[in-house]
Structure 1
Amino acid sequence: MDVVRTGQPFPDAVTRAIFLAGPAPSDARSPSWRSEALRLLAERGYDGTVFVPEPGDDMAPSPDGDPRAWEQEGLRRADCILFWVPRRLDTASTLITHVDLGAWLHSGKVVLGAPDDPKLHYLRQLTDGAQVIPAPTLAAAVDGALARVGAGAARRQGECQVPADIFRTPAFQAWYGAQQAAGNTLTGATVKWVFRVGARQQILYYALLVDIVVAAEKRHKKNEVVLARPDVGAVVLHHRGARPRDTRVALIREFRSPAATADGYVRECPGGSSFEVTDDMRRVALDEVREEVGLQLDASRVRVVGTRQLAATTSSHRAHVVSAELTAPELDVLCAAAEAVHGADADERTTVEIWTLDDLLQKPAVDWSTLGMIMAALAAGD
């Protein structure tokens, strides 16, 4: 176990990192709960890094250093922030603890340990609905922290500022691999936001503020946000007409909150994403066709169009686009069932609409990314 204390340099290589956040002893004679936390971590065989915002027994606080700045950097670098809040609430360091808890509450990194005391019930209310692991004892908080960091991820240099659970995602690895292939270097990162879903709290979206050395320009580019989510697979379902503009395209209509269309709905190609690591996005796309359109397609009918980003100035995720030509009977079935509601679960409600290419070009029914997918698919078939 590598213990890094206040004022000491942060390591340039980590696999797992836990920050022990909470009130410091009120005086030099009072024991620190962090000593017990370190003992519990060692007892459980933890071999990662621990950031401890207190000097060691043989260390004097550095007169030149800024302990608070060190703490803020440690909080950023941690894969998990273990907060332990005791019953006693009359110290200045407890106030700082509460400020830090508020700042990191929705980071997806927090384990909150606090005794089951009526005076601390407001903390439970504060964290209700947040991505926080609650714990009534310090031992339970340590166990929660170990569960949060899991196996970790080996990182070096600027990578150390990317939490392990984000670093491991296919979305991050695809983006980071592209940057490395271009010769660029990640020198720093700050997580601004994480959105998790499901019982396993899997990462669906994250926003990462990054610092990158751009090799081709020999400059350091700072303060740009990478918004990421899993890649999507999309299918352009079409039936060619006598003229290219008469080609009919099957789209799904679904309410999406970000929509800025006249009716508040989006119209897009059937598609979706998966948390499973797979190289066959055709299967993912065809599964979505079955769920969102109600049409079972054989993989042999699918043609690969290509893979591109959708909004490269903001989001790093990509669309893997394929196409399938509908038969006349299939098109008739979809037209006849235009009011049928589809969806994989209660949160998904889609209906099918048939549009001509001419109407899609003339009316702002679809966004530029969807229109680009359709045009690329139709061009690939010529």
Structure 2
Amino acid sequence: MNDRVTVIWAREPIPAGPSVFLAGPTPRDADTPSWRPAAIAAIESHWQGQGPLLVLAPETAGGLRESDYDNQVDWEVDGLDSAGAILFWIPRDIRRLPGFTTNVEFGLYARSGRVVLGCPPDCPNPERNRYLVSTARRYGVPVLETLTDTVTSALAVIGAEPAR
């Protein structure tokens, strides 16, 4: 574990400081692995900023889902609003990782100047990301194909942001 990177899990208080929000589809069953641990590991490996970094992960440590939907939504909106960078990683799989909420979140924040979009070309349904990629290009959002490149791009956004 990197002591310069702190993961803030869903519904935990969000402290002030440089942060990246890990936006993208969340597994809906125990058989579907989350992509977020790999993203967190890549962030820990690549973060070279001046101080500590917060990683806002809209999952619960241990994988438990929130029974109060409004609490989860409120936390995610607060996290998205406060994050210095919003990393969208969308390994689209309509059956296991549909990402319908992710589509809405991307649309809401695409023009913020804080978004990067990662869409792996080898995911089960890459054709379902075409509109997001087109929208990203229209608004100057970086579009990447690997999780590591997406992380690097998001960290560059944080490095260019004034402290929030």
With normalisation by structure 1, the TM-score equals 0.37
Aligned residues: 152
8 Å Cα contact 1:80/1:110 also seen in 2: yes
Q: Specify the SS of the correspondent of 1:18.
A: strand
Structure having the higher strand fraction is 1
Choose 82-91 or 136-145, whichever is displaced more.
82-91
Q: What percentage of residue pairs aligned between the two structures are identical? A: 36
Distance 1:137 1:115 in 2: 6
TM-superposed deviation, 1:153? 4.0
Aligned to 1:146: 155
Counterpart residue number, 2:9: 5
Shift of 1:128: 2.4
What residue in structure 2 maps to residue 55 of structure 1?
60
In structure 1, the residue matched to 2:27 is: 25
CA RMSD of aligned residues (A): 2.1
Partner of 1:110: 115
Name which of 34, 37, 41 aligns with 2:36. Answer: 34
- 94, 100, 104: which one pairs with 1:99? 104
For 2:119 and 2:97, the matched residues in 1 are separated by 17
Distance 1:68 1:129, change over 3 A: same
Q: Please tell me whether the aligned partners of residues 110 and 131 of structure 1 are also in contact (alpha carbons under 8 angstroms).
A: no
Structure 1's 25 and 43: CA in aligned 2 closer, same or farther, altered over 3 A? same
Shift of 1:45: 3.3
CA distance in 2, matches of 1:144, 1:17: 13
Call closer, same or farther: CA 1:61–1:90 in 2, change over 3 Å. Answer: closer
> Structure 1 runs of 4+ off > 3 angstroms?
59-65, 90-93, 151-154
Corresponding residue to 2:94 among 76, 84, 89: 89
Matching residue's letter, 1:4? I
Shift of 1:30: 2.0
Shift of 1:10: 1.0
Which consecutive unaligned segments of at least 5 residues does structure 2 have? none
Question: Larger helix proportion, structure 1 or 2?
Answer: 2
Bigger Rg, which one: 1
Q: CA shift at 1:20, angstroms?
A: 0.2
Please give the residue correspondences for 1:1-382 in structure 2 after superposition, counting only pairs within 5 Å. 1-11=5-15, 13-14=16-17, 16-45=18-47, 47-57=52-62, 60-61=64-65, 63=67, 66-90=71-95, 94-116=99-121, 117-150=126-159, 152-154=161-163, 160=164
Q: CA deviation at 1:79?
A: 0.8
- Residue 364 of structure 1 is matched in structure 2 by none
Contact 1:22 1:93 survives alignment (8 Å)? no
CA shift, 1:21, in A, is: 0.2
Alpha carbons 2:89, 2:119 under 8 Å: kept:
yes
Contact 1:21 1:83 in 2 (8 A): yes
Cα distance, 1:114 vs. partner? Answer: 0.1
Q: Which has the higher contact order (CA 8 A, sep 6+)?
A: 2
How many Å separate the matches in 2 of 1:39 and 1:18? 13
Shift of the alpha carbon at 1:73? 0.6
Partners in 2 of 1:152 and 1:80 — Cα distance?
8
| Deviation, structure 1 residue 89 | 2.4
